[in-house]
Structure 1
Amino acid sequence: MSPLSGVLGEAWALYRRYFAHFILISFVIYLVVAVVTALLSLAAGSWGAFLGLLLSLFGMFLLQAALVKAVQDVRDGRVDLDLGQTVRAALPYVGSVAIASILASIGITIGLALIIVPGLILLTFWSMIVPSIVIGGAGAIESFGRSWRTVRGHAWNVFGTFVVVFLILIVGEIVISAILLALPYAWRNFVADVVAGTLVAPYLATVVTLVYYRLTAAHGQTAEPAAPGAGYGQPGGYGYGQPSPGPGPGPADPGDYGQHGPA
């Protein structure tokens, strides 16, 4: 059975359960960026528009990191980080996410412009870049190799999962645009972008994060870096509720079979 079997349903259940929390993070970041960008454009003309573009890019990368961090936080069944704590926890990763995302966008765009297929391949194998940085602690360049190894062996499943997700998102944006038809064109596009982004981004981040956790488990990898000095029973250590390793027979010793200890 594919490690991604049922991942969309799990993502939807998590999205619904923590809908208010996810939407608050997404809406606040979208709203702040949109308002400040509009004010800069009005106050400083073309220079303001350029600064607004940079701010929009920063906001997009911050939103990606914050939502992945939020999904990581609620996987234990409770919200430990509020809005401010989530944003602060995501800030250290924004630079790496920005560098990796820009490089990936350039590579994928070139691949799509050539004969489409290389772009789709890169899009699939680099889809785990953001969780590799935010959850796995990888650097911007390291995240490409980490993402590739995570997806390897399950590329078709990953590609199919994201095709379904993007089809759902396209339908959602069409519905939102239809609902806002009564608004003037400029306002309709602005409101549709904010509303669609606010509703869509958390679900996409939930899917990406859950896919990352499932694939790392399928490969026998560690999804999150171990904390310094962590042992058994500690977050980031060997495992919850198991005794810490100590002196004794090695793993190859027949007396070790059936006993507690590191495999």
Structure 2
Amino acid sequence: MKLTLGRVLADAWTILRREGDLVLRVAAPFLFLPNFAVQLLVAPPPALPQSTGDRAAMQAWAQAIYSWMQANAGWYLLVNLVGIYGMAALTILLIHPARPDVRTALITAARRFGRFFLAYLLMAIPISLGFWLFVLPGLYMQARLIATIPALVVEAPIGAARAVGRSWRVTRGEWWGVLGAVVLIFLAQYLIRVPLSPADSFLRSAGHENPIVLALADAVMAAAEAAYQIAILGVGIAIYRRLASNGM
């Protein structure tokens, strides 16, 4: 059966809707709240100078970026680590054959965190490189590696590198529908964040401070990011279940 965009999205929606309570119980503290906190409490990075040809302005900007990273990189790293842990626990809840409860899933994710972290790192390198070259190659790599974490859970004690290879094999020849779903989810998140990112900077500028509206804008951006991660996970689980069950 050919994987179409509609079938991929329908399968993912069925999984997430059926387990909606579990998804919210894990996503809220591990995906939404850390992102919301860092959006709200950490100042955004310095904006590029209006004239990128001004060497002095670019040097000052580079120094400002370096100082910003020194002050804030640790917070973003912490948010990413918490997010990886939350995604690992959520994957265990949604696809592990034993159907564990939340407590067991959290314990299992903690015990196997090293493998999950390595798997995310192995995925992040080609995906980030693809986004750096052009957006579409990054989305393609994400589509091909989308079943990595489900494979890591179901086929334990498989290692991170083998899980990445497993995802690549599973999606071979069936990646068009997966890529379409990834692109659609990415665009939905992007269209939400595009107007809110400059609004965040505006609401922090002198004379325009509005902490209530700022908190609302940051909450929406954090919710969009969490929804994006959950949707990608749902697609990954749906793809793994359908294709792995077909012997791929």
TM-score band by shorter chain is 0.5 to 0.7
Tell me by how many angstroms 1:56 deviates. Answer: 0.9
Q: Normalization by structure 1: what TM-score?
A: 0.64
Matches within 5 A, 1:1-263: 1-3=1-3, 6-30=7-31, 33=34, 49-73=72-96, 80-82=100-102, 84-114=103-133, 118-137=137-156, 138-170=158-190, 184=212, 186-218=214-246, 220-221=247-248
**1:61 positional shift:** 0.8
2:112 aligns to what SS in structure 1? Answer: helix
- Which one has a bigger Cα radius of gyration? 1
Question: Highest relative contact order (Cα 8 Å, sep 6+), 1 or 2?
Answer: 2
- Give the Cα separation in 2 of the matches to 1:29 and 1:97: 15
Shift of 1:211: 0.9
Measured in 2, the distance between the counterparts of 1:192 and 1:81 equals 29
Structure 2: where are the runs of 5+ without partners?
Answer: 43-67, 204-209
Letter in 2 for 1:2: K
Mapped to 2, the partners of 1:96 and 1:171 lie a distance apart of: 33
8 Å Cα contact 2:36-2:219 kept in structure 1: no
Identical aligned residues as a percent: 23
String of CA shifts for 1:209-246, please: whole Å, max 9, x gaps: 1111111122x15xxxxxxxxxxxxxxxxxxxxxxxxx
In structure 1, the gaps of 5 or more residues are 222-263
In structure 2, how many angstroms separate the alpha carbons of the residues matched to 1:175 and 1:10? 30
Q: TM-score when scaled to structure 2?
A: 0.67
RMSD: 3.9
Q: 2-side partners of 1:24 and 1:176: how far apart?
A: 26
